[in-house]
Structure 1
Amino acid sequence: MIWNKYEVEDRKLQGISVLAIVMMLISLYMQSKLVLFLGVLFLALAVANQLYLKKAGERLYVDYSHDKARFFIDEKGKWSFIIRNDGYPILKAELRVFFDYFVAPESEDSSSSRGLHEISIPISIFTGQTKQISIPFTANTRGIAKIRRLEFQIPSFLGFGETALESKLPLTLQAIIYPQPIPVKGLAEQLSKLQGANIVPYSVYENRLGPLGTRDYVATDSFNAIHWKASARKQSLQTKQYEKISETGWTVALNISDGHSINGNLEGLISSITEFAYYAFHKQLSYAMCINVRSAGNTPFLYLPKGDGGEHLQKVLETLASINRLNTSIPYHQMLSFYSRHLESQPFFIHAGIRTQEGNDQLLFIQSQKGVRLFELKLEEENGVLTKLEVQNESRKLL
């Protein structure tokens, strides 16, 4: 742990030092050993006090695991870390811990300001000693909570001043609080009609479970597609034919922006997408997710490729938990443009959030050029609603 260190001396200490020097000078004039002894004693105490303030907190370490803890709202948990002191003893110090408001402390000795909770813990730790610190909390709201700062206030032995230590970096302890799902009307109705393999006249996907029939072999056919029994029967090469099917797959796209600010319905939209994720998990549906939060890497926004199962659900919930109102977004239509040009398209596309005219143009392009069916996820009376999306060249509207 790297600390910023500050020393605060009591002004009385300077007066004591001056007094000690004066007493030493007077003792030389008076030839008094008692006055000289008192002067030397006071000066030694002042020097010892200054030395302690400079050395206190050196070789003070914080040890902790780097695991992520995951919680649902209202679940209880705790952060634990170990304080190790290999330097001067510390007595009657105060440890102050600052962490995100996504979790609520159970300690009564706590306060809140600027989006952070603060708790104070009295601590004394001698040289070579270790102490375990535990901070119980309750998951309060969706988000990723971290211990942002540790502060030590170490008083001097004589009470003249104190040394303050402040951690330079936040601890990597994390509490990930998953979003709370809300009911989504039309979710089961819309998805149940479309899940499974749908037979269509034209598709690049085929049902390989059994051939529908055969046809004459052409030079462009794969050698593995030859039906040898039918070829022997007809005395000419025959190619297997399969039913054309549409692949089941969804893309969920969330626009967190409302102009230059964050969508006021963001929490409701995230909760609705959470309900979709749970439904897809139980129905074993595969889906991808795009969110126009700026991200480093080859994809300039938050993107989860198509997947299913429990591991994919966990990634989705963690991604949704990471969104906050301090995120920097990219224009939604730019995200849709990148998606249509560079990422794998799915047969079904769910839009959530604000639509702009530029966004409508991109949705129309995805629908017409990619053959994708569009849906919209919106809020009505604190519940989500999933319906088919009829895109028109309309002005900006709130979904």
Structure 2
Amino acid sequence: MAWRKEIQGLESNNAVTAVGAILLLLSFYKTSYWFIFLGAFLLVISRMSIYYLNHVADHLIFENEKESIRLSVGEEIILPLKFSQFSWLPIFQGTLKIKLEAIVEGLGVPFTSHENNVEFKFPIFVKGQETIQVSLPLKATARGVTRIKTVELTVGNFFGLGSVQLKYNPFIHKELIVYPSPTMVSQTDRLVAARSNGDYSSPSSMFEQFLAPIGTRDYIYTDSFKQIHWKASAKTQALQTKVFERMADNSWTFIINLREANTPHIHLGVVESLESIASNVAYLAQLATQRGIEFEVFLNLRMVNQSAVYHLPKGCGTRQLGKVLDILARVNKKGNTQPLNKLLHYVEKKQQNSPVVIFCGPFPDEKHKYIAQMLKNGQRLFILQDDNQYPAIVPLGRI
């Protein structure tokens, strides 16, 4: 069943039933219309009360469609909650309790905070055969993700005896995603070259654009067989190799290490500076989006249904920005971090050799083998100094 029921006051109603039955029995020995009326009245009231408490939730539906509501810290929203009572039994004396993570607070609605949760209580009234929508005004106060953890409805018996507490059993799919507040990072001009929008021609680049041949040259033994231009070779009676335009790009790679340095256990050690890292990376991702720069993200925190190292492939635009902000909202100190070596090994296998690499969190030195390889590849390495007051971009080795 959708609702788990806990009925209070059944004993009282059963006692009233017993009193009513006794009064009816007494009326057979001593004829009294008062005994008959009172006994019948108590029997009807008590049995109707028991029926109401047992069946008021039989056809009560809470709309539980999958929905993700995204907002930023400080933003206000109305959280809609829809209830449908398909039974003829009304709910007159209902009290609704909603429990969320303590990353939001109520606006004009009384609430209580307990540990990491915030609870809201307010009256609810639903007629029989009616659908209502309860609007819960909220304000986001901290980065994070919360689904509705608990929906509880306490329904008082409108005859006055007893109540039933209903707790919604199924997993609730509605969730709130609160994005981090971007914190401005200084010296970002170091990341942005003069040609910062997309790919551009660069004769010194290591990469060739195979969809942009610009001519041919004489074949040499180190050329790939696939690069031979057969038509040109037939005309010149000598093997000719295609020459492609060399391209460069200004994409960024974020390598986010959330593992505290010298942490021996794989499941512990999320950095204390998690909030500042999330805010700084959010700012840099917004900057990249504004400038049309592609970027990818590596993160050594196991996400839901993901591998031990999370990887967001290279992309750009508002859709890519939204994915990054979603991830930054979901990271928390309860996750399982992976060692830095495992993160960098994964990066070496998966990264697309962006010319700009930004390390976030505890970082290795230049002598680390994976760092040395990136420098050998010609990549420019930077450190995000995630200082709470003055975050900045600093070239690796100049801190």
Q: TM-score over 0.5 for the alignment?
A: yes
Say whether the 8 Å CA contact 1:4–1:166 is kept in structure 2: yes
Alignment partner of 1:184 is 2:192: no
Deviation at 1:171, TM superposition (A): 3.3
Instruction: For 2:224 and 2:326, locate their aligned partners in 1 and report how far apart those are by CA, in whole Å.
Output: 45
Deviation at 1:241, TM superposition (A): 3.1
Say whether the 8 Å CA contact 1:109–1:120 is kept in structure 2: yes
Change (3 A) 1:281 1:303: same
Alignment partner of 1:48 is 2:48: yes
In structure 1, the residue matched to 2:86 is 86
Secondary structure of 2:148's counterpart equals strand
Kindly tell me the number of residue pairs found equivalent between the two proteins: 390
Q: Which amino acid aligns with 1:269?
A: I
Change (3 A) 1:42 1:362: farther
Instruction: For 2:290 and 2:342, locate their aligned partners in 1 and report how far apart those are by CA, in whole Å.
Output: 32
Q: Which amino acid aligns with 1:378?
A: Q
In structure 2, stretches of 5+ residues that fail to align are none
Secondary structure of 2:183's counterpart equals coil
In structure 1, the residue matched to 2:396 is 389
Alignment partner of 1:255 is 2:250: no
Instruction: For 1:322 and 1:230, locate their aligned partners in 2 and report how far apart those are by CA, in whole Å.
Output: 57
Instruction: Return 192-201 or 100-109, whichever deviates more.
Output: 192-201
The CA RMSD measured in Å over matched residues stands at 3.3
Residue by residue, what CA displacement relative to the aligned partner does 1:39-70 show, whole Å, maximum 9, x if unpaired?
33323322221121111111101236544333
In structure 2, the residue matched to 1:165 is 166
Secondary structure of 1:79's counterpart equals strand
Say whether the 8 Å CA contact 1:148–1:169 is kept in structure 2: no
Instruction: For 2:157 and 2:290, locate their aligned partners in 1 and report how far apart those are by CA, in whole Å.
Output: 61
Instruction: For 1:76 and 1:179, locate their aligned partners in 2 and report how far apart those are by CA, in whole Å.
Output: 15
Alignment partner of 1:150 is 2:157: no
Alignment partner of 1:272 is 2:280: yes
Secondary structure of 1:93's counterpart equals strand
Say whether the 8 Å CA contact 2:53–2:157 is kept in structure 1: yes
Misfit runs of 4+, over 6 Å: 227-231
In structure 2, the residue matched to 1:214 is 217
In structure 2, the residue matched to 1:374 is 381
Instruction: For 1:188 and 1:150, locate their aligned partners in 2 and report how far apart those are by CA, in whole Å.
Output: 49
Instruction: For 2:347 and 2:211, locate their aligned partners in 1 and report how far apart those are by CA, in whole Å.
Output: 29
Instruction: For 1:188 and 1:212, locate their aligned partners in 2 and report how far apart those are by CA, in whole Å.
Output: 36
* 1:223-262 pair list within 5 angstroms: 226=229, 236-242=238-244, 244-258=246-260, 259=263, 260-262=268-270
Instruction: For 1:227 and 1:386, locate their aligned partners in 2 and report how far apart those are by CA, in whole Å.
Output: 49
In structure 1, stretches of 5+ residues that fail to align are 392-398
- Among the aligned pairs, what percent are the same residue? 21
Deviation at 1:251, TM superposition (A): 1.5
Instruction: Return 103-112 or 210-219, whichever deviates more.
Output: 210-219
Q: What TM-score do you get using the length of structure 1 for normalisation? A: 0.84
In structure 1, the residue matched to 2:13 is 13
Q: What TM-score do you get using the length of structure 2 for normalisation? A: 0.84
Residue by residue, what CA displacement relative to the aligned partner does 1:323-355 show, whole Å, maximum 9, x if unpaired?
223333333332222232355443332111124
Change (3 A) 1:356 1:43: farther
Instruction: For 2:181 and 2:201, locate their aligned partners in 1 and report how far apart those are by CA, in whole Å.
Output: 33
Change (3 A) 1:368 1:185: closer
Deviation at 1:277, TM superposition (A): 0.6
Instruction: For 2:148 and 2:392, locate their aligned partners in 1 and report how far apart those are by CA, in whole Å.
Output: 37
